[in-house]
């Protein structure tokens, strides 16, 4: 299974895109789940979010915090 991220370029097309995804989901072609991001595009992550990302990547036992941030481009 593959996961894709879709960004609707114009707000006016949002309904059209949503309807298309829901139609595909009703045909059991895809699984559709709308998500929202806690971060706005371009907004820096908080220190807690950075720590959570490092923890989820399981880099903590092997790298220092600075090295993990560089690896993850944070």
| Ranges of each domain in the chain | 1-35, 38-74
Q: Which residue intervals of the chain are DSSP H helices?
A: 14-26, 47-57, 65-71
* Predicted local confidence at residue 38, as pLDDT: 58
What's the pLDDT tens digit per position in 29-43?
A: 999 888 765 555 667
Q: Give CA–CA dist 68/58, Å, rounded.
A: 9
Q: Structure pTM?
A: 0.46
């Amino acid at each position: 299974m593959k996961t894709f991220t879709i960004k609707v370029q114009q707000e006016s097309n949002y309904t059209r895109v949503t309807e298309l995804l829901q139609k595909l989901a009703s045909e059991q072609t895809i699984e559709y789940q709308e998500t929202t991001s806690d971060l706005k595009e371009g907004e820096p992550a908080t220190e807690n979010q950075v720590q959570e990302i490092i923890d989820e990547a399981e880099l903590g036992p092997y790298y220092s915090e600075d090295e993990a941030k560089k690896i993850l481009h944070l």
